[in-house]
Amino acid sequence: MPRDVDPRLLRGFVAAAEELHFTRAAARLYVAQQALSRDVRRLERALGATLFVRTTRQVALTPEGELLLPLARRVLRAHEELASAFGAGPRVLLVDVNTDGPGTGRTVLERARDLAPDCELMARFESGLTHAAAEITAGRLDVSFGYADGLDPAQAARLDRCPVRYEPLAVLLPQDHRLAGCGAVPLDGLAGEAVYAGAGNPRTREWTGLARELFAGRGIAVAPPAPVAMGKEEFGRVMAKTRNPVLVSVDFPDMPGSVKRPLTGPVPLSPLSMVWRRGFEHPGLDALRTAAAALAAEHGWLTAPPGGWIPESCRRAGAWAAGSRGGAGGAVPEVPGR
């Protein structure tokens, strides 16, 4: 058994063990797959143990690999703590808040920045959890927010998450739409309409799936794919051209040429979660989880209004808001430096 093991080799092993896919693990580490395979072989020689069983169909940990994984995570965490203690500090945490505007993710991020002022929490705007989740598992993003139960199960299995909010939904309407004068729009009032919910956009498949479930049996169609608009001006131009109502959250930013109205009868809710790569640790993530739990308690985010609509996946799960894997159902993590 060697006295010292290069942390780089352990980092490569942990990535491969978490992904169980060498191509994805290499992309996450920004290295070539051949280099990662070479590092894993070096680690196996150093330890005198086989860590993976690799076939043409799958990658699996051996019993020795299972034994090493928690130990390797502890060693890497100790290296990060050592660097932080002597001035290097934790690396920048990349946090996707979906859009460049107000919203639940932005609110959580701002509270977390107050809780952990020594951490750099950098906002990103990926506009869709399906895309953001792929970026997280590839190591190009750290945290995102969205309807996690709408993700592909294989993708969701590589993520940890915690519930944040039963987020009420709204509809964005052209200013001269027949329903624009309503203070709130009953779902039945959209019967016969085609409502845009990101259909055709590969970034937002989870959102389109939620919309299809909400609209089913109500006479509401999911609008066909439209050009993905970037920025308020382009969004307003495309909306004026298609004239389709748009399904949004109640905190979606105002757009030119349109009005936003909450949906009622029943109030539809999107179960919003915060997600991150499985096994990932960072003081900024601790701050985000603490912020989300505090805001939920202050504003009743995890209390669904009576009679509110939620997706079938969450009804089957029962106590969605009681906590998901890695999430806020247990003790709130302490934020370092407070």
HEC readout, 17-71 = HHHCCHHHHHHHHCCCHHHHHHHHHHHHHHHCCCCEEECCCCEEECHHHHHHHHH
Provide the percentage of residues in the chain whose pLDDT is more than 90. 52
Look at domain 7-85 and name its CATH class: mainly alpha
pLDDT classification of 69: cutoffs 50, 70, 90: very high
- The per-residue pLDDT for range 201-215, each reduced to its tens digit, is 888 999 999 999 999
Arithmetic mean of pLDDT, 168-174: 93
| Top mean-pLDDT range of 73-82, 148-157, 321-330 | 148-157
CATH of 93-166+270-322, one of 3.40.190.10, 3.40.640.10, 3.40.50.720, 3.40.605.10: 3.40.190.10
Q: Where are the domains of the chain?
A: 7-85, 93-166+270-322, 167-264
Share the mean pLDDT of the chain: 85
The pLDDT of residue 316: 63
CA 136 to chain centroid, in Å, comes to: 8
Q: Do domains 93-166+270-322 and 167-264 have the same CATH topology?
A: yes
* Reported confidence tier of residue 15, pLDDT bands at 50, 70, 90: confident
pTM of the model: 0.72
Strand partners, 247: 171
Q: Which of 38-47, 89-98, 126-135, 142-151 has the lowest mean pLDDT?
A: 89-98
Contact in structure between 121 and 96 (CB atoms under 8 Å): no
Tell me what pLDDT residue 331 has: 36
The yes-or-no verdict on residue 336 having pLDDT over 60 is: no
